[in-house]
Amino acid sequence: MSVIVTVKVPGDTGVFTKSLEDRAEEYRKIAESAKEHGALHHRFGVGNGYILIDDEWESAQEFESFFSDPQLRDFMGTVGADLTAAPQITVGERIDSPDSF
């Protein structure tokens, strides 16, 4: 069964949201790589001083392997993530429910 992964990263949301447009092609390449490594779904959110990552992966191990890539971490640092603080990562087994949509 797949896993749901949420990641909360402190950072500059203005820099981050601007990068989504300015560096769109880099995001597309990362998305393709993530799919090749087991990512099933992905989206972002922002809050007051943080960036949220909401993903579904085939397994927690595949997510951990992908997310620990130093090149990905370097990229995150250039698009507003504050890498001096550890991201908050939550992983749970995906389950079906009658109210899913």
| Two structure tokens written together for 25 | 């092609």
Q: In the chain, where are the structural domains located? A: 3-93
Please report, for residues 15, 59, 61, 101, the alpha-carbon distance to residue 38 in angstroms, rounded to integers and kept in the order given.
Answer: 28, 7, 10, 22
In CATH, the number for domain 3-93 is 3.30.70.100
pLDDT at 46: 98
pLDDT at 37: 97
* pLDDT tens digits along 17-58: 999 999 999 999 999 999 999 999 999 999 999 999 999 999
- Please compute the mean of the pLDDT values over residues 70-85 and round it to a whole number: 96
- Please compute the mean of the pLDDT values over residues 1-9 and round it to a whole number: 97
Where does the pLDDT of residue 62 fall: very low under 50, low under 70, confident under 90, or very high at 90 and above?
Answer: very high
